[in-house]
Amino acid sequence: MKAIRFHQHGGIDQLRYEEAPDPKPGPGEVLVRVKACALNYLDLWERRGLPGIRIPLPHISGSDVSGVIEAAGVGVSNLKPGDKTLVCPGLSCMLCEFCLQGKDNLCRSYSVLGYYTDGGYAEFLKVPAVNALPFPEGLEYIDAAAIPLVFMTAWHMLVDRCGIKAGEDVLVLGAGSGVGSAAIQIAKFFRARVIATAGSDAKLGKARELGADVVINHSRQKIRDEVKQATGKRGVDIVFEHVGASTWEDSVSCLAHHGRLVTCGATTGYDVRLDIRHLFAKQITLLGSYMGSKYELIEVLKLVKAGHFRPVVSSVFPLKDAARAQEQMENREQFGKIVLALD
Ligand SMILES: [Zn+2]
């Protein structure tokens, strides 16, 4: 099959469009013919390499896949060739206490599709049959692939970790990212007031279209000053963080008393400073979050079907142009998801 692989860590020039062995589905697995695969920031970390993390090389990235079942392995009875599917990107043991509670993203063996295993930057992908969810009918393959990782992540952050409530003020950083564009929609669904930040007025216009009530252009406005003004100096109830070092101090200072900061990522760096006097005196809560459960994805898909959420696709590239697609993500040119499309 054709695939985009890297044989060593490094820059975008390491991505090669080349022939790779066809995956063979084992017992309990299915082979998916990939129709679309959305990019995530994780793909960039994988390609660059992280200290202490050994990704098998050569490697195929890609966590968000929609496609068609091509073949089913031994013991798979619920799926057959020709079925359309949307792949849940969370891989777990399905046997431990957390998996059995439906909290599979807490499983000790949890991993993201395309991280340690080969992903969807390819014509074919093998996944456990339990990850091949029914396709959300009414959507195109490209739009469907734009949903799973960012929506399940944003849902887990706001609903499970923060317990978002109607009327709360939520600061969504990086509204132009996939996870930011999902967070705005989820916060509005729960009737919160959304303050969104982005680095360009064009992105802020799109954030408003998704429901953002107040927008801040962080390239020319100070986030903490604008948040103070928008909240009458009170601060926000929830800060939705995924940016890391460059925004962290602003994020903490924007919290109201008893506010909570939830974070799922650190695209600008993970080494941050915390003055613990703010933590105890303002009685704030710092919450970590990682992906979301398979059940949370199923909940999100119900709400997509009901018309409450829509996938936000920024641009589409053919598989062979994955390097250009990653370059666009590195330059933060997108609003929403960048998707690779296959014939
Ligand atoms: Zn488990």
pLDDT tens-digit series, residues 145-176: 999 999 999 999 999 999 999 999 999 999 99
| 236-241 vs 313-318, strand pairing mode | unpaired
Q: What is the separation of C-alpha 208 from the centre of its chain, rounded to a whole number of angstroms?
A: 20
Centre of ligand 1 to C-alpha 104, Å, is 6
Centre of ligand 1 to C-alpha 97, Å, is 7
Contacts of 233 (CB under 8 A, 6+ apart): none
Centre of ligand 1 to C-alpha 2, Å, is 32
Centre of ligand 1 to C-alpha 159, Å, is 22
Centre of ligand 1 to C-alpha 186, Å, is 27
Q: Length of the chain in residues, anyone?
A: 343
pLDDT tens-digit series, residues 19-60: 999 999 999 999 999 999 999 999 999 999 988 889 999 999
pLDDT tens-digit series, residues 223-250: 999 999 999 999 999 999 999 999 999 9
Query: How far, in Å, CA of 69 to CA of 73, rounded?
Result: 11
Model pTM score: 0.96
Centre of ligand 1 to C-alpha 96, Å, is 4
Q: Which amino acid is at 290?
A: Y
